[in-house]
Amino acid sequence: MLSNDTDPIVAIATAPGRGGIGMVRLSFGRGGEAAAQKAMHALCGQALAPRHASYVPFVDGNGEALDRGIALYFPAPHSYTGEHVLELQGHGGPIVLQLVLQRALEVGRDFGLQLAEPGEFTRRAFLNDKLDLAQAEAVADLIEASTEAAARSAGRSLEGAFSCEIHVLVEDVVNLRMLVEATLDFPEEEIDFLEAADARGKLARVRQQLDTVLADARQSALLREGLSVVLAGQPNVGKSSLLNALAGAELAIVTPIAGTTRDKVAQTIQVEGIPLHIIDTAGLRETEDEVERIGIARTWGEIERADVVLHLLDARIGVTDEDRVIDSRFPDGVPVVRVLNKTDLADAPAVVRDAEDEIREVSLSAKTSDGIALLRDVLLKIAGWQVGAESVYLARERHLIALRAAREHLALAAAHADQQSQVLDLFAEELRLAQDNLNTITGEFSSDDLLGVIFSRFCIGK
């Protein structure tokens, strides 16, 4: 049975497996004080002082201790969810935690206690105005952060840095809407509204501010998602050696035998805090070997999903007819970097240059690592990352989509403003649509379907 947004809920709130400490969390829904009192007496054998750590036994139905630990009671609204919350912190063995959880469910039968769904505690926090939607997403981003920079930025988003930027934008759009709609309400006033109220100037400033937020959000999204970088090319051009050089470890088998790599080898590295998901693939060539053909098919599949393709060539040979055929099959819109490897054998320097068809070209030696730093810089440039810059918050793809949509509506508003007063109603409508898109970021305007998708990706117990 699934819970609704007011049912009492319970879950193990620590990660699966054995650990020093484990926690069972209960949240009692709206008006759940009586249920909270009943649960703490049944589970802890006594009443608990609010926001005070009490060392107590966690007892079963016969009054025997299942475990001993710390119990904390947070009365509403001063809790994570904004509801009455009870947290039982005991030993982190999976069996003892399951025993405490089952005991809690037994106690909760009388008041409808349900197992929490993924992200349901944080969903309650959002619904009870403890967090806005961007902050709630930052909770999951903080848990899942794969780099120190991503963790710091997620922490700032959780504190409200990103939400504050959005609220400022929304407030400015609302103020502009008020001016426009007030003029629509009093058409008899024969004034040039756009000039008198400096509407164009205000709109231009909002658009500039939005562009700044979008640029920061685009860069911060890289901290969360990273780039998928696929190494592609003919056999024996040094793809596996390049993976090892970028990763700084011997991850892939390297031999002079063409076709050594039959399936992908993946490794995530960090460059300036940006996760780069490097994928080494099978060499691209015509072959009768069935296993190798499967590996090549998988290579093209990875290329279709790539953010960047590194097309490796032998620096001693350069671009061959076979390489041009490979080039022609790369998907449109995916940046391609030609990597001329083995400069140590070609007696050539490591260098970055523009090549034909605006494809970037890097000469390097994966064996000696000469030029690897140049390649890392090229990848950061493709990503749009500003070296030395630190993102002040973490953004998601849905935030970028909403910001881009708001930017398009503001651009249409500006076009209507240039046509003077006869289209003020269209001007006002575009401002409203821009505001709606911005509000989806913080959750002031969000569908239940969107909330379901967002919170279903959280872990259980958070």
Q: Which amino acid is at 136?
A: A
- The pLDDT value recorded for residue 261 is 43
Is residue 307 scored above 70 in pLDDT?
Answer: yes
Phi-psi region of 161 (alpha: psi -120 to 50; beta: other; left: phi over 0): alpha
Domains 9-126 and 133-443 share a fold: no
Is residue 407 scored above 90 in pLDDT?
Answer: yes
Is residue 256 scored above 50 in pLDDT?
Answer: no
- The pLDDT value recorded for residue 452 is 74
- The pLDDT value recorded for residue 289 is 59
Is 263 or 140 the better-scoring residue by pLDDT?
Answer: 140
Tell me the C-alpha distance between 406 and 210, whole Å: 8
Is residue 357 scored above 80 in pLDDT?
Answer: no
Which CA distances in Å does 313 have to 114, 236, 316, 319, 336?
59, 9, 9, 7, 13
CATH architecture of 133-443: 3-Layer(aba) Sandwich (3.40)
411-428 mean pLDDT: 77
Q: Give the pLDDT confidence of 198-208 residue by residue, as tens digits.
A: 778 888 999 99
Tell me the C-alpha distance between 54 and 40, whole Å: 11
- The pLDDT value recorded for residue 387 is 57
- The pLDDT value recorded for residue 449 is 65
- The pLDDT value recorded for residue 142 is 83
Q: Are 103 and 62 in contact (CB under 8 A)?
A: no
125-142 mean pLDDT: 88
Q: Give the pLDDT confidence of 140-170 residue by residue, as tens digits.
A: 888 877 777 778 888 888 888 899 999 999 9
Q: Which long-range contacts (CB under 8 A, 24 or more apart) does 122-128 make?
A: 122/455, 122/458, 122/462, 123/5, 123/451, 123/455, 124/5, 124/9, 124/27, 124/81, 124/82, 124/83, 125/80, 125/81, 125/82, 126/443, 126/451, 127/5, 128/77, 128/81, 128/82, 128/83
Q: Is 390 strand, coil or helix?
A: coil
pLDDT band at 190 (very low <50, low <70, confident <90, very high): very low
Judged by average pLDDT, the poorest of 255-269, 336-350, 390-404, 410-424 is 255-269
Helix count and strand count (H, E) for the chain: 16, 13
* Predicted TM-score (pTM) of this structure: 0.71
- The pLDDT value recorded for residue 262 is 43
Judged by average pLDDT, the poorest of 31-45, 80-94, 146-160 is 146-160
- The pLDDT value recorded for residue 24 is 95
Give the side-chain half-sphere CA count within 13 A for 143.
16
CATH number of 9-126: 3.30.1360.120
Is 8 or 348 the better-scoring residue by pLDDT?
Answer: 8
The continuous run of DSSP H or E covering 454 comes out as helix 448-456
- The domain locations on the chain are 9-126, 133-443
Judged by average pLDDT, the poorest of 29-43, 177-191, 334-348 is 177-191
296-310 mean pLDDT: 79
- The pLDDT value recorded for residue 456 is 78
Tell me the C-alpha distance between 193 and 81, whole Å: 46
Is 248 or 82 the better-scoring residue by pLDDT?
Answer: 82
Copy the structure tokens of residue 243: 């993976």
Is residue 314 scored above 80 in pLDDT?
Answer: yes
